[in-house]
Structure 1
């Protein structure tokens, strides 16, 4: 996978307004894996894109009325089909982690990349998603020297008690095997 100025060439680009510059001397060194489905536990429909682009229609679903005014984003979404949609350059600070801490450092947005898997905590992810996540992760590790396989975590790990994603349905062992194979080429 090729990156140009923090954008994946293999992804559909849907630039979100919900980002800003990373603080001085902060580079991506942590990968945070999330899940998202809109409405909850329903897939497809383009609502995730609408949410990250601040155009979610609150009249479509009662749940949307509770989140439509939030301004959040992730760097990348991996849909159930494996399709990649990028919202923020990996060089920029996406608003994905919220109040968070990793290895004693707070505000993980400053130094992390957030990847959303279209899914839910208890719904198995697709093989296409695992394959794409491994490919993207290998490319990010190659592109950002401070990022290593040891610095990959779930949202639940950096915001315990507040977040539960990617949840028990995420097979970390399978992902780690695929990542190892991808990096060995």
Structure 2
């Protein structure tokens, strides 16, 4: 369920958001010492590809994806990945990793000469794909979450996965409306 629009999302001292479901991922570790958080990376994900609402994303981020459930799962079930947040199609917000910890969302990545973007970024996954538009409820939750993150951390950059891993990643994709978060 999406956060009530009458409420503001907040991020507490432990890096946890209000108004969200917490599902801890084991795929996290400490950020490097003296590394600040100054970037948000926006992704899209759907499991199986281009199908929405199922348990696949949560299972992937918690190392519980059954490779036999879908042919695509056999190609990714071995991955150890996570994100700080997932925003479902209906605007529901899930948190897998404390913002104070490093989530494993960016992979091989660089931004403005800095490599290893996981070290200094917050990863936000939108349930979606490169082949369809995102929902209004997702943009509303995303904007509330970005505002909360900007209140807590000195965010300087909001980028897509494609910008930090060009040629390797395409998300959040051509249907993501950057004007909705400016």
Q: TM-score range by the shorter chain?
A: over 0.9
Determine the structure 1 residue equivalent to 2:47. 38
One of 11, 17, 27 as aligned partner of 1:8: 17
- Tell me the distance in 2 between the aligned counterparts of 1:39 and 1:95: 20
Runs of 5+ in structure 2 lacking a partner?
1-8
Determine the structure 2 residue equivalent to 1:82. 91
| Displacement after TM superposition at 1:27 (Å) | 1.7
Tell me the SS of whatever aligns to 2:86. Answer: strand
The number of equivalent residue pairs is 173
- Tell me the distance in 2 between the aligned counterparts of 1:57 and 1:140: 33
2:33 pairs with 1:27: no
Q: Which string of whole-angstrom CA distances, capped at 9 and with x for unpartnered residues, describes residues 127-170 of structure 1? A: 000000000000000001x213xx00000000000000001010
Runs of 5+ in structure 1 lacking a partner?
177-185
Alignment of 1:71-110 (within 5 A): 71-110=80-119
2:181 pairs with 1:172: no
RMSD: 0.7
In the superposition, the TM-score normalised over structure 1's length comes to: 0.92
- Tell me the distance in 1 between the aligned counterparts of 2:66 and 2:155: 37
2:163 pairs with 1:157: yes
More helix, by proportion: 1
Alignment of 1:119-130 (within 5 A): 119-130=128-139
